[in-house]
Structure 1
């Protein structure tokens, strides 16, 4: 099964590049992308997992309601995207559960940064998907971590998918910059080896990010953003479906593991 997930957050990426962007605009850009994603998933009749910050959810409850109504899984992406304290683990879960009326089982830290697994367990989560088991200069050095899921301190740890042997990351940046023929080939090979794929994106990737004066975002991130990115993911989904692969939520695929 292919597990698509989307980190729904206030769009604060321009702040990393010295650009100011009003909070209302952060919300509107993320909402534009989220609605495009929902349309894409509905068109292909598949379900996915949405990791949502409480800050976004409380300000855009109608969008969260659309996600829930479409049958997708809601998980936590923390309370804020650019600030974290351990208490936010519980607070974000409780806020999302109150808003959706559904249990929130999963957590993903903003920017896939490290998080204490015992704090995750104590805050009532069943799984954590905050690990990119690869090496990226200045960001990740997780070559010693399992490529595939494992249990730790009573929590299911679900790393982002990387290819066998060389651990090439199959994540959002790869989808922006590599030819889709290579992405499709690596994905099929990794799925055959592991039995599943765990691939994550952000809603703002599905909007036009090319205005560097406005956003300050470098080309390796803005490349193929907006409509071209919608088309890329659409083609990826259809290619996988033609090969007989299915799509679903993290809770759905790991139901037995999470129940044990």
Structure 2
């Protein structure tokens, strides 16, 4: 099975490169990309998970309503994308449930940074997808973490997918830069090893990132916008041709919990 996750946030990435972008434009770009994603998923007749910041949801409740009405999962991406306090865990869950009128059971930390699992459990989440179990220079080193799902502090951990052995990350930047044939091959061997893929993207990748105002390097802007949408569509069609099922992350988590209970019994 394949879990597709999309992190809906204020598009504040230009700030990391010393560029300024208005809050209104941050919201507009994220919404534009989200609409592209929703159209792709609808055409493919598959469901996915949208990890949303409460800050975005407060500003764009109509987008959240559309996501839920089309059968997708709303999970938390924190309250703000560039500010975090432990109390934001519960606050974002409460606000997202209020806006979406749906239960929020999953969490993903902004930029896949470390988060206290005890605080995750205390806030009422049942799963956390905040680990990229590889090494990204200047970001994190998670070689000591398991590659596939595991439990910590009673919370189900669902790491992002990386290839076996060398742990090459199968994340958004890989979809921008790798030849599709190589990406499919690595995804295939990873799926064979783990039984599933957990992939994550951002709505702004489905917009034109070549704008000089953003200051992004070539490896970020490559294949952005419509080419990126085309790549995701091609990947979905490949997954379907292999017989892989596409599933919301909360549904996957429920299946893992059932396996755990069966093993205990």
TM range (shorter): over 0.9
**Superposition pairs of residues 135-150 of structure 1, within 5 angstroms:** 135-150=135-150
**Superposition pairs of residues 9-48 of structure 1, within 5 angstroms:** 9-48=9-48
* Partner residue in 2 for 1:61: 61
* TM-score normalised according to structure 1 size: 0.98
**Superposition pairs of residues 214-229 of structure 1, within 5 angstroms:** 214-229=213-228
* TM-score normalised according to structure 2 size: 0.96
Q: CA deviation at 1:256?
A: 3.2
Q: CA deviation at 1:136?
A: 1.2
* Partner residue in 2 for 1:244: 243
Aligned length: 259
Q: CA deviation at 1:140?
A: 1.7
Q: CA deviation at 1:59?
A: 0.1
* Partner residue in 2 for 1:83: 83
Unmatched runs of 5 consecutive residues or more in structure 1: none
Q: CA deviation at 1:258?
A: 4.0
- CA distance in 2 between counterparts of 1:258 and 1:34 reads 30
RMSD: 0.8
* Partner residue in 2 for 1:50: 50
Q: CA deviation at 1:218?
A: 1.1
* Partner residue in 2 for 1:201: 201
* Partner residue in 2 for 1:234: 233
Helix, strand or coil for the counterpart of 1:254?
helix
Q: CA deviation at 1:134?
A: 0.3
Helix, strand or coil for the counterpart of 1:217?
coil
* Partner residue in 2 for 1:180: 180
Summarize deviations over 1:62-83 as a string: whole Å, max 9, x none. 1011100010000000000000
Unmatched runs of 5 consecutive residues or more in structure 2: none
* Partner residue in 2 for 1:169: 169
